[in-house]
Structure 1
Amino acid sequence: MPERPVPDKFLVAFSLAGEQRELVQAIAQAVEDRLGRGQVFLDEWFEHYIAGDDADLKLQDIYARRCELAVVCVSGRYGAKPWTQAEHRAIRARYMQCSAAAEQRERQAILPLRVGDGEVEGILFNAIVPDVRQRSASESADLIVARLHLLRPEPAAGSAKAPPPGPAWPDEAPPLSWPMADHSGARAAFGELLTAGVPWRLLRICGASETGKSHITRQMLANVLAIPDIACGRFDFKGTTDMAREIRAFVQDLEVPVPPTGLRLHDGLDQIVAALRQRARPTLLIFDTYEMAGEAQEWVEKSLLQGLMRATWLRVVIAGQRVPEAGGAVWATVARPTVQLELPQAADWYDYGRLHRPELKLEQVETACDLARGKASLLAQLLGPGG
């Protein structure tokens, strides 16, 4: 599994003793499923980051400064180990700062949870410490995320708020050009994807070979590049034999730095998305030939799509003979039902061809379809403006 990216600040960080690791790991995974990959700190998930002779300093920095919510997993073993004692000293120092904070919600930044018998020095006898040993991981995650919302309250539904600064998605779909045969369902869905009020942010387009998937994704890119203030990039997994070239083509209109050469694909994509997240302006990412993504498929489904839950500035299109399945996925709520492409029929190609050759006959198009065996790429060349 690709390692998790290290954010500037985690949303939740767990401090625990190893004896309760199995219980806490299940809870941490349930929290990460809600918040997105890389947003939750559990030491074993970030071994690549904390390894070294300064691990104690890195851990203290995470719990004291680099997390929104520190979750203390209370047990007798937690209070008896040197490592957890070092972590808890940083957490207690943060607690003293939070107690004196003028902002009331900052005092909610530490959440103790009981995961085993025994007490921890510094946690007072009158403190309410929810016992999660008899709760499911999902129920415990609900508690943690609810506490996080006290620190980072979401806007109330329907509440008035000032418009976000800088560029924003348009209220209505701009005029779009589609020099291609049919696929009206995909066109309509794409137009809706580009609007501010759309309730979903992921468009999946699935179809067999030669149904025009690559042609339509290239036209999506061309359409968005003509719209001011929306960044767009198209990545074709079929072209990853020359990784550096494909990455350069992907970022050229995203206006972010090209990742260093030599990185694995998912690491390079992680760096690109991290740079986009810092800017948080309207952005469309298009991924084509998804069935050839290989190990990057896990990055897409576990990292990119989970991040869509909070990234209202981002839209994603995934096209291929196979696309991610939403069943049971945490990102299902931001995904539109898959658009299934079919081969355009002769009548569709006839309507398309007459845009460029008014004298064209249906019989000629039927003959062309037979000779081309329905291949969309070839028929587009034969019947399009340059044919």
Structure 2
Amino acid sequence: MPTRAVPERFLVAFSLAGEQRELVLAIAEAVENRLGRGSVFLDEWFEHYIAGDDADLKLQEIYGRRCELAVVCVSERYGSKPWTQAEHQAIRARNMKCSAAAEKRERDAILPIRVGDGEVAGILFNAIVPDVRGRSAAESAELIIARLHLLRPDLEALSASAPSGPAWPKTPSPLSWPMANHSGAREAFGQLLTSNVLGRLLRIRGVSETGKSHITRQMLANVLPVADIACGRFDFKGTTDMDREVRAFVQDLGVTTPPSTPRLHERFDQILDALRQRAQPTLLIFDTYEMAGEAQQWVEKSLLQSLIRATWLRVVVAGQQVPDATGAVWAAVACPVVQVEPPPPADWYDYGKRHRPNLKLTDVETACDLARGKASLLAQLLGPAA
């Protein structure tokens, strides 16, 4: 990826402790996506500039003078490290100057946000410090950009001039669901495919034969025609021929099929790396998650952690078991679990009437009893005639 050019003055500069890097990085990327590449300072993005024995002076200059808005990422670790202490000294000096500035809006040039427990010396008890740990990166970025607008009312023009590539739509696109209704899965999926969604991980859980696989296949069918969204579906139930499954997974993702290896997670790593370099809207669907085996570790420790920063990525996981967000670092980007229940006969009747105009509700009730509610069988009985 090309090195970022160093501007004369950054629009936003983040000051943080390394322990909160994953969370802050996702927010910084979301802000940069809105303001333009190179407009946001994060130390790792400008290592080529700050490297050397005068790094502390360069950092103090950036936070004290060379940024419109300094974002202080408050946590106990921030207040106890030599580097962040040096950064905060410059920020405190700037705060003192801004408090007496004739231009009132200059007093808004420092924004503290809470990214971890603990306090920082110099940030007073009565200071309002928004806690962003329970917010999505997009929500946190919106907060920061709104503060920046107080300093730079002309910022809208700057944002509008920034180059933009494919992006998630702001509102849900019309979707086609040739299937019986399934407990909110349709609505949750529609919201998932939008830019300002609170969560980027959709989990669909249900017992066997509730139609989960049919749902995920319809999700893929809905996204395939959309030119600007790459998508792939992997069913862990069919991994006996690993090469075939991986080829099917990547065929609409627009990346190269990784070399054959016995370890599935190694191939997934290569696919994710290729997608990350491109960073275009991408949907990954994983079905029959309870049979993922060792790949579960990769999903929960690698893929879902990537969601924290990868605002371009959406993930669906379906199965009798799904990843548990309790205590997980990716919990803030997870939507509530959708619990799928077998559609009642009335829903199957509505579905069947599209294909069989003379169908009666009593016929459907009988079919549901005989099929014992199995979605795959009912879809065949009541769906389009072969």
| TM-score after normalising by structure 2 | 0.65
Match of 1:237 in 2: 236
Match of 1:375 in 2: 374
Runs of 5+ in structure 2 lacking a partner? 4-16, 26-42, 67-76, 90-115, 122-139, 150-155
Q: Does structure 1 residue 209 correspond to structure 2 residue 167?
A: no
Paired residues for 1:361-372 under 5 Å: 361-372=360-371
Measured against aligned partners, the alpha-carbon deviations of 1:151-204 in whole angstroms (never above 9, x if no partner) come to: xx9672435434661111112211111011111510011111111121211111
Deviation of the 1:251 alpha carbon = 0.5
Deviation of the 1:222 alpha carbon = 0.4
Rounded Cα–Cα distance in structure 2 between residues aligned with 1:128 and 1:31: 16
2:273 maps to a residue whose letter is A
Rounded Cα–Cα distance in structure 2 between residues aligned with 1:350 and 1:246: 34
Q: Does the 8 Å contact 1:35/1:306 carry over to 2?
A: no
Measured against aligned partners, the alpha-carbon deviations of 1:212-235 in whole angstroms (never above 9, x if no partner) come to: 000000000000001120110001
Instruction: Label 1:69 to 1:167 Cα distance change in 2 as closer, same or farther (>3 A).
Output: closer
Rounded Cα–Cα distance in structure 2 between residues aligned with 1:200 and 1:385: 35
Q: Does the 8 Å contact 1:35/1:309 carry over to 2?
A: no
2:199 maps to a residue whose letter is W
Rounded Cα–Cα distance in structure 1 between residues aligned with 2:275 and 2:221: 20
Rounded Cα–Cα distance in structure 2 between residues aligned with 1:199 and 1:354: 36
Instruction: Label 1:154 to 1:259 Cα distance change in 2 as closer, same or farther (>3 A).
Output: same
Q: Secondary structure at the match of 1:198?
A: coil
Runs of 5+ in structure 1 lacking a partner? 1-6, 10-26, 37-65, 71-89, 116-122, 131-137, 144-152
User: Equivalent of 2:53, from 95, 106, 111?
Assistant: 95
Rounded Cα–Cα distance in structure 1 between residues aligned with 2:279 and 2:184: 29
Match of 1:196 in 2: 195
Deviation of the 1:280 alpha carbon = 0.7
Q: Does the 8 Å contact 2:22/2:309 carry over to 1?
A: no
Rounded Cα–Cα distance in structure 2 between residues aligned with 1:213 and 1:242: 22
Match of 1:104 in 2: 62
Rounded Cα–Cα distance in structure 1 between residues aligned with 2:316 and 2:86: 48
Instruction: Label 1:356 to 1:165 Cα distance change in 2 as closer, same or farther (>3 A).
Output: same
Rounded Cα–Cα distance in structure 2 between residues aligned with 1:129 and 1:355: 65
1:173 maps to a residue whose letter is P
Deviation of the 1:323 alpha carbon = 0.5
Paired residues for 1:164-203 under 5 Å: 165-183=164-182, 185-203=184-202
Deviation of the 1:386 alpha carbon = 2.6
Rounded Cα–Cα distance in structure 2 between residues aligned with 1:114 and 1:102: 17
CA RMSD of aligned residues (A): 4.0
Rounded Cα–Cα distance in structure 2 between residues aligned with 1:210 and 1:269: 28
2:53 maps to a residue whose letter is Y
Instruction: Label 1:68 to 1:168 Cα distance change in 2 as closer, same or farther (>3 A).
Output: closer
Measured against aligned partners, the alpha-carbon deviations of 1:87-111 in whole angstroms (never above 9, x if no partner) come to: xxx9x973347857998369xxxx9
Deviation of the 1:129 alpha carbon = 12
Deviation of the 1:69 alpha carbon = 8.6
Instruction: Label 1:356 to 1:128 Cα distance change in 2 as closer, same or farther (>3 A).
Output: closer
Q: Does the 8 Å contact 2:22/2:308 carry over to 1?
A: no
Instruction: Label 1:178 to 1:112 Cα distance change in 2 as closer, same or farther (>3 A).
Output: closer
Instruction: Label 1:231 to 1:206 Cα distance change in 2 as closer, same or farther (>3 A).
Output: same
Match of 1:292 in 2: 291
Q: Does the 8 Å contact 1:206/1:320 carry over to 2?
A: yes
Q: Does structure 1 residue 272 correspond to structure 2 residue 271?
A: yes
1:383 maps to a residue whose letter is L
Deviation of the 1:286 alpha carbon = 0.5
| TM-score after normalising by structure 1 | 0.65
* Identity, % of aligned positions: 62
Q: Does the 8 Å contact 1:206/1:341 carry over to 2?
A: yes
Name whichever of 182-191 and 278-287 sits farther off. Answer: 182-191
Rounded Cα–Cα distance in structure 2 between residues aligned with 1:317 and 1:184: 16
